[in-house]
Structure 1
Amino acid sequence: MKILPLLALLALQQAPFVEQIEVRIHDIDVIVTDKTGNAVEGLRKEDFELLEDGKPQPITNFAAYSEKAATQIANAPAAEAAAAPQVPPPRKIVFFVDEMSLTEQVRNSLAKNASEMLERTMRPGDEAMVIRPANLGDKVGVELTGDRESVRSTLANAIQAQTYRPDVGFEGELRRFQLESKRASARKELLELRRRHAAVVRRRVENRLTTLRAIIATMATLPGRKVLVTFTESLPATPGLEFFDDNTPGMPAQFDISDAPFETPSEHVPPAYLDLRPVLDELARMASSNGITLYGIQPEFDLRLSFGDDDKSLNTIAVQRALENTADTMNILTGKTGGKFLRGDTHADEVLRTIERDVASYYSLAYRAGDDYDKAHKVAVRVRNHPEYNIRARNEVTRKSPPREMTDRVVAALVTANVPNELGIAARANPPVKEKRGGYNVDVDVGVLIGRLLLLRDGDKYRGKFTVHYAVTASDSDFVSGMDQEQVVEVPVAEYETAKSKWWRHTLHMKMGAGEHHIAVGVLDGLAQRAGMATLKVDVK
């Protein structure tokens, strides 16, 4: 912590001094369908049972939404109109189109179905946009628009751009691995190949998840019904798992051990692929906590894939395992948020029609949130006396603390183009200092005007508090994030007017490796709950 001159009387203390009373509720959007998939309308508050961690919760707010509401209200008598369902609130729909390798037939079908869904779904007040994967350093512009034709054209073009290319995504990764693995002369060499190629897949997947997290963090603050639709061919929960299976086509059947060096048991290291399911759980929890419903569409791989000159057979084993690996990811993301995932271009229209029905007819239930922050709670919704109904809703809620929400927003700032800065903070990085043991120390100064913070008078002093949050890229696809200890500011009443025009500076001490790093920092005013964020790039060498 550093304080600029003339502010020597400013002091830090850890004890909070302002008590805030806040009541929050959890809103649960509920889709109810019959056995044929048609929406069930006409249900009332008393028809529902809502449970948190298995315990019934009083439903404090209830609403039924239907696209038919406008017609019903216009044609019904006054008494009936009062009980009729409401028109759904404005919707926010974001489409994330991943890098894929699609045949012309699949592209045309997918683009057609997506365009028709937008035509049928978007109405005045709704907003949507299309996002593509971002490379390191690229910024994702999350700018929603109500121009349906513009969104339709952008979405169709994004899908049509996914032409068949054997070097993209899963197919390219598996092809390169199998070509190299055929030349492996020992199991240790093969293990190193597996690790290296699994790391390539991991970087791709982490890059996509970082983008999705940024989208979710940006959508979190938006009002209304929020939907995120992901089109992806490969987003595995355990990146590179297929490379560690000896039954995958293209693996050497045996090794010539005549010249192989002896390896002790300690040299046999467990497979080095990463299980991202905990990360996916947290991402789904983040979406669920902010009322964002996720849907997933995975086109089938082209089963004509073959690798190498000697193998022209269908590569069904690797394809099937890759499909299941991605299904694990999408089932986590959609299951926790009340969405739906289906595979294959023949099912794409079904998913898109499901989205159309889901945003057109649903129920909204609300109950009071508990007092605990940052703790996940299981939620279940039932319709009394109707076990035959299918119910979809988010199955977890978390009352996020303001600092936790702020950290999510700072992570999003790493890749989003629109970085809000209500507090007008500034940030700069000092020259890197190399350590004897390797690595570098980088100090980042974060400044905020005292006059931008809310300070309340307490006797002969004005007091306020704030937290500083950060996120920094740790590699070409991953990042680390965190928050410094809450700071409490005291300014003597006699010094207050002068202090308002001065900068408060807080220094973050970061350890980095060599290379280019992107940093996002944020300051959250603990009293006003106003925030400011800034981003910068550091070339560490």
Structure 2
Amino acid sequence: MGHVDLATISHRYLVGVAVGLFAVIVRFNPGAAAQASPATGAEPGRRQESSDPVLTNRPPPKPNSQLSPEGKIKLDVVVNDGAGKSVQGLQPWDFKILDNGQPRKVMSFRAFSDAEVKPDPPVEVMLVIDMVNLPFQQVAFTRQEIAEFLQQDGGHLKQPVRLLLLTDAGMRVQPRASIDGDALLSVVNQIKGGVRTLDSAMGGEGLLERFQRCSHQMTAIAENEARVPGRKLLIWVGPGWPMLNRPDLGYYSEKDQQRYFDGIVELSTKLREARMVVSSVAPSTNADATYSIRYMDYLKPVRWPRESDSGDLSLKVLATQTGGRILGPNNDVANQIKKCIADANDFYRISFDPPVAQHADEYHDLKVVVDKPGLTVRTNSGYYNEPAGK
């Protein structure tokens, strides 16, 4: 395969409104049985005797056949056993969808597996190398770990991979995904560490700028990928962007909170529509250990503007909400990436119709249950329902 270059991210990735913090996110008949034709000269009005009937076998149902019609809310669901291995062979009746605690009917169902029915188009891996938040001394190490991942199995990647490089200058994106690990490696080898213009020395202003830039890029990626068919696994390599406290952000007016809430609704919806699963992998850092678990304070649903906060858009919160993985920090980044894509082709695609929304941006807690012991289900944890016509 020829050389793969990183191209400057397209205009549609970069379009967005930037008005302070709150503008980082602007908004799938059997043929009728042949009847015997009447014999020539048959008496009028007399039923023609048919020939001896032939018993034909009814064709077996096609595997993974989709029920119809398809529901409005569509989910990709991964089911793992206690050892973390994907569980295959489940049927529609094995799944229970709970929407705000109330059961909803499974409207469509498809099963995909690496061994039998692979998804088409293939599940794409989007590997984001975050040089905005990675400490300078870790850039070279992270690059080596990504190189190790790309060289596994002789450079023959199981899934198509696309590289995205986030720097102070913006996001650069590989135009097309590739399964040629050697070609991708040549791109990774060109990545050099540099002096960051956004660092801790800038204080709260620098933190705010990093938060804005990363959140904006995540939103731009989701908006763009919502137009592209297929499931995507976005793996963010780095510690993630800052989770700011309100003192860092200044005063929240009612208008500010509404605008911020609108951004949360928009990003949540676009990630689901893009069929994008966000995962976080990270090398070891010298950061306070409490930082790595602080995201848990923001896992509660954001139902109203007054509940919105910057931490609701942190990397690990998005990973949890989309059914992704949170791995690290440790120095085996290559293995972290491998774990994130181990069951890329093993999932179920189901859909359901939501109840009638009573108001705009109505949050619904979502839970998919498989009625078998010892299984773990990963999918979207909620969605924002909208009135008809919106």
Tell me the TM-score normalised to structure 2 length: 0.63
Counterpart in 2 of 1:205?
Answer: 211
Distance 2:157 2:213 in 1: 33
1:133 correspondence with 2:166: yes
> Could you say if the C-alpha distance between residues 374 and 24 of structure 1 is closer, same or farther in structure 2, counting changes exceeding 3 Å?
farther
1:28 correspondence with 2:75: yes
> Could you say if the C-alpha distance between residues 26 and 228 of structure 1 is closer, same or farther in structure 2, counting changes exceeding 3 Å?
same
SS at match of 2:206: helix
SS at match of 2:337: helix
1:95 CA drift (Å): 1.9
SS at match of 1:212: helix
Counterpart in 2 of 1:108?
Answer: 144
> Could you say if the C-alpha distance between residues 35 and 227 of structure 1 is closer, same or farther in structure 2, counting changes exceeding 3 Å?
same
User: Which of structures 1 and 2 has the larger relative contact order (alpha carbons within 8 angstroms, sep 6+)?
Assistant: 2
Distance 1:46 1:237 in 2: 41
> Could you say if the C-alpha distance between residues 114 and 63 of structure 1 is closer, same or farther in structure 2, counting changes exceeding 3 Å?
same
Contact 2:79 2:378 in 1 (8 A): yes
1:139 CA drift (Å): 7.4
Contact 1:294 1:337 in 2 (8 A): yes
1:363 to 320, 345, 348: 348
1:43 correspondence with 2:74: no
Aligned alpha-carbon RMSD (Å):
3.6
Q: Deviations over 1:440-469 (max 9, x none)?
A: xxxxxxxxxxxxxxxxxxxxxxxxxxxxxx
> Could you say if the C-alpha distance between residues 281 and 333 of structure 1 is closer, same or farther in structure 2, counting changes exceeding 3 Å?
farther
Counterpart in 2 of 1:381?
Answer: 368
Distance 1:105 1:134 in 2: 17
Distance 1:350 1:300 in 2: 14
Letter in 1 for 2:114: E
Q: Deviations over 1:104-125 (max 9, x none)?
A: 5554234312553983422xxx
1:51 CA drift (Å): 1.3
Counterpart in 2 of 1:393?
Answer: 379
1:358 CA drift (Å): 2.7
Distance 1:289 1:381 in 2: 18
1:351 CA drift (Å): 3.2
Counterpart in 1 of 2:156?
Answer: 119
Superposed counterparts of 1:117-196, under 5 Å: 119-122=156-159, 126=160, 128-133=161-166, 143-146=175-178, 148-149=180-181, 152-153=184-185, 156-157=188-189, 161=192, 163=193, 168=196, 172-173=199-200, 176=201
Distance 2:97 2:183 in 1: 37
> Could you say if the C-alpha distance between residues 340 and 147 of structure 1 is closer, same or farther in structure 2, counting changes exceeding 3 Å?
closer
Distance 1:141 1:44 in 2: 39
Counterpart in 2 of 1:295?
Answer: 279
Contact 1:297 1:348 in 2 (8 A): yes
1:350 CA drift (Å): 4.3
1:216 CA drift (Å): 0.7
Residue ranges of structure 1 left out of the alignment (5+ in a row): 1-21, 70-85, 178-196, 242-269, 304-317, 405-541
1:88 correspondence with 2:125: no
Q: Which structure carries more strand by proportion?
A: 1
Distance 2:171 2:109 in 1: 39
1:364 CA drift (Å): 1.4
Distance 1:23 1:88 in 2: 17
Contact 2:210 2:242 in 1 (8 A): no
Contact 1:30 1:393 in 2 (8 A): yes
Distance 2:166 2:141 in 1: 23
2:321 to 336, 340, 344: 336
> Could you say if the C-alpha distance between residues 95 and 103 of structure 1 is closer, same or farther in structure 2, counting changes exceeding 3 Å?
closer
Contact 1:295 1:340 in 2 (8 A): yes
Letter in 2 for 1:40: V
Tell me the TM-score normalised to structure 1 length: 0.47
Distance 1:322 1:155 in 2: 32
